[in-house]
Amino acid sequence: MTTLYHGSPLIVEKPEYGKGKPYNDYGKGFYCTKHIELAKEWAVGENSDGFVNKYEIDLSKLKILDLLDQKYNILHWLALLLKNREFSIKSPVSVRGKEFILNQYLINTDSYDLIIGYRADDSYFAFARDFISNTISLEQLNYAMKLGELKEQYVLISEKAFEKIKFISSEPVSRIEYFPKRKTRDENARNMYRKQLDEMDINGVYLRDIINGAQISE
């Protein structure tokens, strides 16, 4: 059995299939993490307390898309993000880049029960947007996604997965303690990101290069 946590303003004893916002990272689903401290950070808002909900789930009989597996690269993750999240894309190269990534790297998730992948909130969404805008290289994007120790998220997307998850307990989370931790994590990631951008990655592979046929490591 695998233990997962979900931070929320509410106690969620029975996650419901088909609910959730369609423009989350991986579309509609139930978003969890294996890391309780992260779940606590995401349970609260600046002016609101929340709850961390604990679950157990048997993953052995589920079909899992693990985007952190070596057979995938960060462009597979980015393709799903481009499909589901709202991006402001204006320049011609960005528009062409979005179309290219969706055509070449988008994975059909219809047959999967659960997705494991990066989380793209706050700074991490901005990092992805910078790559689409040709501001940073692919290498810099890979580096940026590891800043702040955001870890991976587990997203239940099928009815079968929802049937497998079992609520264990919940506990209240204070915004006074955990909102500053969430804010500090984000600020640290942004500061480290700005430092790496002090110099252009002259030898790096940019989106324009990928469109023009540059080889990337899988």
pLDDT of residue 166: 97
**What per-residue confidence (pLDDT) applies to 49?**
97
| End-to-end C-alpha distance for the chain, whole angstroms | 31
Identify whether the C-beta of residue 185 lies closer than 8 Å to the C-beta of residue 149: yes
pLDDT tens digits for range 64-76? 999 989 899 989 9
Q: Once rounded to an integer, what is the mean pLDDT over residues 89-100?
A: 83
How far apart are the C-alpha atoms of 79 and 107, rounded to whole Å? 8
If phi > 0 it is left, if psi is from -120 to 50 it is alpha, else beta; for residue 2 that is beta
Compare 155 and 141 and report the one with higher pLDDT: 155
Residue 148 has pLDDT above 60, yes or no: no
pLDDT for position 90: 75
| Mean pLDDT on 99-127 | 86
Neighbours of 80 (CB within 10 A): 24
Strand partners, 152: 118
Give tens-digit pLDDT for 26-39.
889 999 999 999 99
Across 75-83, average pLDDT: 91
In 85-196, which residue ranges form alpha helices assigned H by DSSP?
Answer: 92-105, 123-132, 138-144, 159-164, 175-196
Q: Where are the domains of the chain?
A: 2-211
Is pLDDT at 218 greater than 60 in this prediction? no
| Per-residue pLDDT tens over the stretch 115-146 | 999 876 666 677 788 888 888 888 888 877 77
User: What's the pLDDT at 196?
Assistant: 67
